[in-house]
Structure 1
Amino acid sequence: MSMSQAPELSRLTLGIVPLLDAALPIVAREGGFFAAEGLEVTLSRESAWSTLRDKLAAGLLDGAQLLAPLPLAMSLGASGTPCDVLAPLVLGRHGNTLVLSPYWSEGMAAPLDDSPGGRDPAVNARDFAERLRRRGTTRPRLAMVHPFSSHHYQLRDWLALGGLDPDTDVELVALPPSRMVEALEQGRIDGFCVGEPWGSQAAQRGGGRIVATGAQLWPGHPEKVLGVTHDWAERHPATLAALIRALIAAADWLSEAPEHRRLARDWLALPPYLDRAMDHLPTLPLDEPPIEQRLTGLRPGADELARVVEHLARQLGEPLDRAAVETCYSPVHIDAATHQERA
């Protein structure tokens, strides 16, 4: 156990959604990093972000893996009951894939192909817009995971690259990540933006083609964060510090050796977590094109969320309070956790 102040709580429940960027809490639990900090952590798998949001706000969870925009949306009362939520740690950057059905993506370049469409996401976006003008009598239905998500905002940005209006030229719907591939294969949607491993699963099964990634659209952007309520953080500062240190230790371990990433893939594939959704991945792909899933760079900062703030302000129809943004994504907690004096 760390020589820092003992955590106020020894048993915690954290909420996760089955995605690759749930890796840090899963690795911290299975690899003993939570235990090393004196924490016994249960991971509660939820299928929908709205369920995770509501359970965190109601105090049924001590913390949760959250979409990067969601703590701010919750704090502003834009998503559910107003609840002050902090994002003291970034759990992952990148990892989103924008997938279209074979009908809409035929001949499009895969991200990072040598063709222009692979390097510049605007090429595929313009191709999609041209196909829509030629073929479209009904609007294509495109899914994202939650109205307050980078997936939603990146999808809108990609459509804008093709000169399309996301509010009139397509139909946008919200679906849980784990339901995207089946919905695409059944023809209920024409494409989606989702976190891994669901986009690569759709491509591997032939149900769709990856035509853009979050790494292309928003390089370096935080995708998932650790979320805790402001009240919980104030009441349990040593517990939060221990939680942060355990997740940082998990990230450090993951980056040390390829065999660690292979073991992490096996942990993610356990039935309580991602199960069969990992079958098409031989290892946990980190920082590899085209997905470029990054589980490093864990220190949050308000400036990194500028694109989120821009989209959220547009949704709400008013400028956002800068102080609220800075409070939500302040690095003060990670700095305190990693610079505490040792006894």
Structure 2
Amino acid sequence: MRETATTPELERLTLGFIPLIDAVLLIVAREQGFFTEQGLEVTLSRENAWSTLRDKVAAGLLDGAHMLAPLPLAMSLGMERAPCDTLAPATLSHNGNTLVLATRLCEQSGAALGDDPAESARALGEWLARHPDAARLRLAMVYPFSCQHFLLREWLALGGLAADRDIDLIALPPPRMVAALREGRIDGFCVGEPWGSLAEHEGVGRLVASGAQLWPDHPEKVLGVTRSWARRYPATLAALLRALNNASDWLTATPEHRRQALDWLALPPYLDRSVSHLDSLPSGQAPILQRLFGDDLLRPDVEAMGRIAEALQRHLHAKGRALDIRTLHECHAPVHFDAALHQ
């Protein structure tokens, strides 16, 4: 076949993902054939840690990946590793994070999910103040430069608690959270779905707040590719973006499609038994209000990155650095998405 300007330069791609519900667009695009329609043969590589996924993208072992929204910018700025210019040409989800405490800790402190996340934070802070001899709490998040980390710190602050001073924070891969809570190695966590609702379903933890309450409609996951990859394979990137957009349209169309998507998520190569407690794809349901498809989901919006940029700026300021606004805008520019969809 004669190659044209829109023919993908690559026929075969490997994209990384972490086993989370908001990898659904990648899974739908593969299982429903939207990648194939665009001339792409895509392998989805399940990775268990964000740091591993990050390093594989930077090294070219993955063509791109499902990424934490702050991660492409953190990679570009050289936060925690050598700088690697990385772009986020599509948004894959908004919201979706849960803050969970061990069941026994909720029973002792009275921390519970309500309309105001400050109430559960204050309940925990007041209980700790009344029990100064209690063992120091250990809470987990998924990666230092993640919404989960920033949300957990902000929630603790609502209860007058400071991470590092009052609480030990550790990073754990999402699939290890529930087991660590069950075994008593941690006292709570902030993570994307389905792991929070799974902890509650198994009786080892309870939701006490959600990311949607703390940062309403924040970008949570993005597609991440290196800038050099995007420059080398522009038609491939455009095909990838069209396939993801078609997957979003397909999910939007009917409840039956969303039930089928949940069945695909439950396949062993993807999320397997971790979604067996769910009756439907949990999109738009209170209190998590996860947004996985619909109008304007995929198009990057640098303004929506405001809270994330502020959190990164605080970290950089503590290191004597400043956030490069130009890099922020380049990282989350909609130029590649608009070109792919001719907007």
* TM-score, length of structure 1 as denominator length: 0.94
Secondary structure at 1:119 match in 2: coil
Matching of residues 117-266 of structure 1 within 5 Å: 118-137=114-133, 138-266=135-263
What is residue 328 of structure 1 aligned with on the other side? 331
Q: CA deviation at 1:319?
A: 2.3
Cα deviation code 1:102-127 (max 9, x no counterpart): 122124333xxxxxxx1110111111
Matching of residues 2-151 of structure 1 within 5 Å: 5-106=6-107, 107-110=110-113, 118-137=114-133, 138-151=135-148
Moved more, 282-291 or 216-225: 282-291
Q: Which amino acid aligns with 1:216?
A: Q
Q: CA deviation at 1:330?
A: 0.6
Secondary structure at 1:209 match in 2: strand
- Structure 1 residues 131, 4: closer, same or farther in 2, change over 3 A? farther
Q: CA deviation at 1:176?
A: 0.3
Cα deviation code 1:184-209 (max 9, x no counterpart): 01110000000000000000000000
Q: Distance in 1 between matches of 2:267 and 2:43?
A: 14
Q: Distance in 2 between matches of 1:214 and 1:40?
A: 35
* Kept in 2: contact 1:144–1:193 (CA 8 A): yes
* Kept in 1: contact 2:111–2:121 (CA 8 A): no
Q: CA deviation at 1:165?
A: 1.2
Q: Distance in 2 between matches of 1:6 and 1:16?
A: 25
Unaligned runs of 5+ in 2: none
Secondary structure at 2:122 match in 1: helix
Secondary structure at 2:8 match in 1: coil
What is residue 309 of structure 2 aligned with on the other side? 309
- Structure 1 residues 161, 10: closer, same or farther in 2, change over 3 A? same
Q: Distance in 2 between matches of 1:71 and 1:120?
A: 31
* Kept in 2: contact 1:87–1:227 (CA 8 A): yes
> 4+ residue runs of structure 1 moved beyond 6 angstroms?
none
Q: Distance in 2 between matches of 1:13 and 1:166?
A: 37
State the percentage of identical aligned residues.
63
* Kept in 2: contact 1:90–1:224 (CA 8 A): yes
Q: Distance in 1 between matches of 2:132 and 2:18?
A: 34
* Kept in 2: contact 1:301–1:326 (CA 8 A): no
* Kept in 1: contact 2:16–2:45 (CA 8 A): yes
What is residue 276 of structure 1 aligned with on the other side? 273
Q: Distance in 2 between matches of 1:125 and 1:154?
A: 12
Unaligned runs of 5+ in 1: 111-117
* Kept in 2: contact 1:67–1:224 (CA 8 A): yes
Q: How many residue pairs are counted as aligned between the two chains?
A: 331
Q: Which amino acid aligns with 1:325?
A: L
